[in-house]
Amino acid sequence: MATIDIDSTITYQHIEEAKHRVSQHIGGTRSGKTYSILQWIIIQALTKQQEISVVRKTIPSLKRTLIKDFKEIMLKMDLYEPDSFNISERVYSFDNGSRISFINTDDAEKLRGVASDILFIDEASEVDEESYFQLSIRTSGRIILAFNPTISPYHWLRKMEDCDRFTTTYKNNPFLPDDMVKAIEDLKHKNEKYWKIYGLGEYAPNERAIFQFEVVDKIPICDLVALGMDFGYSVDPTTLVAVHRRNDTLYLRELIYEKGLITQQIIDKLSNLGIGDTEIWADSAEPRLIDEIYRGGFNIKPVKKGPDSVRFGIGVLQNFKLVAEKGSQNIINELYSYNWMQDKNGITLDRPEPGLDHAIDAIRYVAMSRLSIKEQSKGKYAINIR
């Protein structure tokens, strides 16, 4: 009988100790939770014939993290057989019949065909509740969810009941190099919020939040103001948000939030959504994309950006109460995380911190184009200057 030695973190023990079917593993940066979970999964595959699903939102993130770590662990165990890995299907087959499938949730139809004995979702905060539901009802055994504590109180993961929750930090990872330890501990002095989240593994209230908002199960019947679109590709997502209005309340619904979309894919998605001739206000920095989508049959227009347009758009939105629909998880994440910058002395500035603002930019384009005082006053008055 071959002996396999494993150097793992406390997360491996947490999985073994979990009393519920579902366990959440909440960790700061470099806590080693994902690596240890993969080690546990490999041992399960070796011990008994099982179908195991390992999930992230996108294919690039699967390849960059989970598949890379899986291969590294298997090589350290002297178990990896290149011929056992079907690269196109992203399935590794073991001699005893066990299979580990690496799945992305961007392919919604594929989720309905997935059946598993064990399910592991890494960066589960990126996955919407419907995708989790489709995966969970097709899983007969353990479900393991790993994520960082960056999510809002409205996130489905924080509202989940009947699960075990374990928190780990970089201090639980004895294999972390000293320079990485120092970089994390430097956050104590550089960024108090990041230190609490990534250093201590704790949820941190956003005290510099730009927007206050609420979440409802379903948007009530109200007027559609317009659609807002922001463009991305490899790093940032392309987003499409429907902005509805009732009196002084704006209701927000996420329609597209996806990386890697080329023009034809965007046009196809707009067609599938039945957008028709609904007005779309888009990022004027991409005139070619706007023209190609317009030629595809959609009423898309470039937003007019004046000086300091970001703060102007924020100011318009702050005149309204903001409400996100429950299923619009990326909008909720962005509204919760969007905050004012701080200088090196800890003084809050009147400029937003860039980064997680792709849906917010789309919403802002609608606000600037259709909800500013200037835009709402158009056509109301005939003014003569004498």
Q: Which of 126, 101, 113 has its CA nearest to residue 41? A: 101
Dump pLDDT digits (tens) for 165-198.
999 999 999 999 999 999 999 999 888 888 999 9
* Domain of residue 22, CATH code: 3.40.50.300
Kindly state whether residues 223 and 339 are assigned to the same domain.
Answer: yes
Dump pLDDT digits (tens) for 80-132.
999 999 999 999 999 999 999 999 987 766 777 789 999 999 999 988 888 99
Task: Tell me: pLDDT of 360 over 70.
Answer: yes
DSSP-derived secondary structure for 91-135: EEE-TTS-EEEEEETT-HHHHTT--BSEEEETTGGGS-HHHHHHH
Q: Which of 25, 18, 46, 45 has its CA nearest to residue 117? A: 45
pTM of the model: 0.78
* Domain of residue 274, CATH code: 3.30.420.280
Kindly state whether residues 225 and 365 are assigned to the same domain.
Answer: yes
Q: Which of 138, 141, 145 has its CA nearest to residue 56? A: 145
Rounded Cα distance between 171 and 160, Å, is 27
- Domain assignment present for 5: no
Total domain count, the chain:
2
In this predicted structure, what is the pLDDT of residue 348?
83
Task: Tell me: pLDDT of 380 over 50.
Answer: no
Rounded Cα distance between 216 and 222, Å, is 14
Task: Tell me: pLDDT of 379 over 50.
Answer: no
Kindly state whether residues 165 and 279 are assigned to the same domain.
Answer: no
Q: Which of 81, 197, 98 has its CA nearest to residue 141? A: 98
Q: Is the dihedral of CA 326, 328, 331, 334 positive or negative?
A: positive
Dump pLDDT digits (tens) for 6-30.
889 999 999 999 999 999 999 989 9
Write out the residue range of the structural domain in which residue 261 sits: 213-376
Dump pLDDT digits (tens) for 36-85.
999 999 999 999 999 999 999 888 899 999 999 999 999 999 999 999 99
Kindly state whether residues 158 and 235 are assigned to the same domain.
Answer: no
Identify the weakest region by mean pLDDT among 97-111, 153-167, 256-270: 97-111
Stretch 356-368: mean pLDDT: 96
Q: What mean pLDDT value characterizes the chain?
A: 92
Rounded Cα distance between 363 and 368, Å, is 9
Kindly state whether residues 144 and 233 are assigned to the same domain.
Answer: no
